[in-house]
A and B are shown apart, each in its own frame.
Chain A
């Protein structure tokens, strides 16, 4: 998955991870996949909410060593 855009938002708090995902998303091409790393539990729940509301797609979501990884595909 070398073409995934990595967005490292570890150790920042709400709404830091969401804003970092969005600013990277703005620059990405449609169809691109972004992998967000977050340690903020609140944002972790908020991000799928935002992704669904705005109309993008959650590809994968998993936790590894206390870091949440959320993979989002830019749809439009």
Chain B
């Protein structure tokens, strides 16, 4: 059975981004309807041409960087490419950063407001990072 999975990502920490990306990608390729909402400090990683390094929160993050873990941006892209996940940048966060849709990676969808995200959540699962 497929579910609606909503992933809200607001952290800038590597471990949080990684876990969110894993939920989104594995959820999407397993046939679920996945929506990702990017806001607060998470949005900047999706700016074209950025080379930002997400700060690690603890030992696990350090370990993950040493080992061959798929980078979270690659997993988010695969969620879209392989599993038809939808990634929505928060319109408030875009206003704050003074950026437009075309400044973000092409696999990121059109901006969405919180009101619409909440109404789309429906009875689906919500995961927050």
**Does A22 sit at the interface, judged by CB under 8 A?**
yes
> A15 near B82 (CB under 8 angstroms)?
no
Majority secondary structure, A binding face: helix
B residues less than 8 Å from A13 (CB atoms)? 64, 67-70
B residues less than 8 Å from A23 (CB atoms)? 78, 82
Q: Identify B29's interface contact among A11, A12, A16, A19, CB under 8 A.
A: A19
Q: How far is the CA of A46 from the CA of B26 in the complex (A)?
A: 10
Q: Mark A1-40, 1 if CB is under 8 A from B, else 0.
A: 0000000000111111011001100100000000000000
Number of interface residues of B (CB under 8 A): 14
Q: How many A-B residue pairs have CB under 8 A?
A: 41
Q: Smallest CB–CB gap between A30 and chain B, Å?
A: 17
Q: Name the CB-closest residue of A to B64.
A: A13
Q: Mark A48-76, 1 if CB is under 8 A from B, else 0.
A: 00100110000000000000000000000
Q: How far is the CA of A22 from the CA of B70 in the complex (A)?
A: 14
B residues less than 8 Å from A50 (CB atoms)? 26, 29-30
**Does B39 sit at the interface, judged by CB under 8 A?**
no
Within 8 A of A (CB), among B87-117: none
Q: Which 7 A-B pairs have the closest CB atoms?
A: A16-B70, A13-B69, A12-B68, A15-B26, A22-B29, A19-B78, A22-B82
A residues apposed to B, CB below 8 Å? 11-16, 18-19, 22-23, 26, 46, 50, 53-54
